[in-house]
Amino acid sequence: MRQTSLETIVEDILETIGYVVKPHSQRFITDAANTVYFQVPVCRGNKKPFVIDFALENARIGIEVDGLRWHSNMAHVRDILRDKEIRSMGWSILRFKEQHIKEHPSLVASQLRRGINLLLDV
């Protein structure tokens, strides 16, 4: 699956804070611990899997990017329910809105670094 322009911005931010970003379809057992995958399917039994925008898969940390085009008030309610279900499967979710990403990329980088380190207990 192709990345949106917003996801490309987040990929660049992740790379500036020391992560390698790869499509989930290109993951290997030998990938480094600092590898973040994009478009990561999260299986949930017999139901259609959720797809997380970016993930540190082994640590079960997901990063979601909320573009204005796709995230109306109704989508926000769906996101809350979706996040709750993903969290019940042992994942943590960091969520960022388009406006925040575009207007404050250095702040998003800092928040990502801090959030990931906190969840990794670094």
Instruction: Output phi, psi for 102, to 5 deg.
Output: -75, -35
CA 27 – CA 113 distance, rounded (Å): 22
Q: How long, in residues, is the chain?
A: 122
Instruction: Output phi, psi for 52, to 5 deg.
Output: -90, 135
Each residue's pLDDT tens digit, 8-44: 999 999 999 999 999 888 888 777 888 999 999 998 7
Could you tell me which residues are beta bridge partners of residue 97?
A: 66
CA distances from 15 to 24, 44, 46, 48, 54 (A): 16, 29, 35, 30, 12
Each residue's pLDDT tens digit, 55-92: 999 899 999 998 876 556 677 788 888 999 999 999 99
Cβ count near 86 (within 10 Å): 19
Q: Which of 118, 113, 122, 88 is nearest to 19 (CA)?
A: 113
Q: Could you tell me the pTM of the whole model?
A: 0.88
For residue 6, pLDDT beyond 80: yes
Q: Which domains does the chain have, with CATH numbers?
A: 5-120 (3.40.960.10)
